[in-house]
Chains A and B, each alone.
Chain A
Amino acid sequence: MPEIAQEARFIGSVTALSMHEMQNILAIIRESAGLMGDILKVNAKVDFKHRPNMERTLEHISSHVDRGKGLLEATSRLAHSPDEDLLEGCDLTVYARTVALLSERLVRLKGAAVNFAAPPTAMPVAVGALRLLMTGYKAVQWAVGAGVKDGVVHMDIESGKDFHVLNVRPPAGIDPDLDGVAFLGALLDDGKVEWDGSRLRIFLPVRRQG
């Protein structure tokens, strides 16, 4: 195994274990806040001065646990991706969603948001999970460029006979750096990346079953 792969697997295994702990921490926070909410509901007729503040705070806890859960799921997938690479491909639907979750913060720092329209079905591709995550993440990074105010990066997937395509559309107002397209293409051993005038199109070979 090449040294870099060993290192990636090491980082992945340590991160995955830490994410498992984070998952337990979030679960305890959710159940504890949930129990407090249950008790408030059971005693709905008991009024006290700070009830609205407490109810609002519990809603905040719940919504941020959901936010953390999404990030946790994405980070766990990233951590497990070197192991997934031992298989001969991955599900584009799952990993494109992971790219969208992982890049949320990056995109927000550039003044934009990311939107992913997920297809309802699995789309197996013959590209390793880690490689797909890296290419997708770099594509989103490329798409927001130096930044834009209130823009949206749109991601979607098209299915095809030989290639499934991950489309990444930069926000309006971004002037794409076309030199970057070749760099993104070079990240993929199989597959290719093209710019069609409005979207970056990442072609990923379909994984054949059996």
Chain B
Amino acid sequence: MNMNAWNILLVDDEVEFVSTLAERLELRGINARVAYDGESALKSVAENEPQVMVLDVMMPGMKGLDVLQRVKEAHPQTQVILLTGQGKTRDGIEGMRYGAFAYMMKPLDLDDLIQTLGEAINSDKGTPHA
């Protein structure tokens, strides 16, 4: 897996969580940008379409599932991995119906996340990204 070429966007209002996660991915050679709310995420996607967006479901302002729907409408090739609450698998299942690639629960296992990112990038829907 050539992880250096991955283009990932992490979206979560928990700044310390998402910035530290991006730093850890970077240490592994993965380029991950961050956005701290739904509006910024949509702007970031429009400027530089990511292969995979990791998106928290529960954020202030625009909700994660609304961001998901907007992204899938305008950028269907971007794969979305949802971060859901413990015990709230219903959000994840609903997200899958809107076209999410997968859902995971916080706190994350980094190896699991990287594996899921790889699967999303190598999936049929995710390959057209250069």
Contact = CB atoms under 8 A, between A and B. Distances in A.
A31 B24 contact: yes
Contacts, number: 68
Contacts of B24: 31, 34-35, 38
A119 B45 CA distance: 42
B87 interface: yes
A73 interface: yes
B87 A19 contact: yes
Given A31-B16, A34-B20, A77-B86, 18 more contacts: A16-B85, A23-B105, A26-B107, A27-B14, A27-B17, A31-B21, A31-B24, A31-B107, A32-B16, A34-B24, A35-B24, A38-B24, A65-B107, A69-B107, A72-B86, A75-B87, A76-B85, A76-B86
Contact of A24 (B17, B20, B88, B110): B17
A80 interface: yes
Interface in B3-25: 14, 16-17, 20-21, 23-24
Contacts of A23: 85-86, 105-107
A16 B21 CA distance: 24
Interface in B26-40: 27
Given A30-B108, A34-B110, A76 B14 contact: no
A20 B13 CA distance: 13
Nearest to A32: B20
A20 B107 contact: no
B42 interface: no
A176 to B, nearest CB: 32
Interface in A36-64: 38-39, 42
A74 B86 CA distance: 8
A146 interface: no
> Which of B14, B16, B107, B108 has its CB near the most chain A CB atoms (within 10 A)?
B107
A28 interface: yes
B58 interface: yes
Contacts of A35: 20, 23-24, 27
Contacts of A92: none
A80 B23 CA distance: 34
Contacts of B21: 31
Contacts of A69: 86, 107
Contact of A27 (B23, B58, B107): B107
Contacts of A80: 87-88
A38 B27 contact: yes
